[in-house]
Amino acid sequence: MRPIQVGLLGIGTVGGGTFAVLQRNQEEIRRRAGREIRITMVADLDVERARKIVGDAAQVVNDARR
């Protein structure tokens, strides 16, 4: 099955925590859900801070409409 693609709006306290939990628990999520959940894009006004958190794991933009 193809992975479920997810975008996050904001990577502050809640978004950053969500990102970390999804990244850390990839194998368990895949085992239980039968497919991967992949964060493909993060929208945050502070692009530099977001890139430090996300790294190369997802595309970072400053416009949530993208």
Instruction: Indicate whether 27 belongs to any domain.
Output: yes
In this structure, what token pair is assigned to residue 9? 């709006």
Instruction: Kindly give, in sequence order, each residue whose CB lies less than 8 Å from that of residue 43, ignoring residues fewer than 6 positions away.
Output: 7, 8, 9, 10, 60, 61, 62, 63, 64, 66
**10 φ/ψ angles, rounded to the nearest 5 degrees:** 95, 140
Domain that holds residue 28: 9-61
**Are the C-beta atoms of residues 10 and 20 closer than 8 Å to each other?**
no
Q: Is the residue at 18 inside a domain?
A: yes
What was the pLDDT predicted at 41?
97
Residue 1 has pLDDT above 90, yes or no: no
Tell me if 4 is assigned to some domain: no
Q: Using 50, 70 and 90 to split pLDDT, how confident is the model at 10?
A: very high
**How many distinct structural domains can be found in the chain?**
1
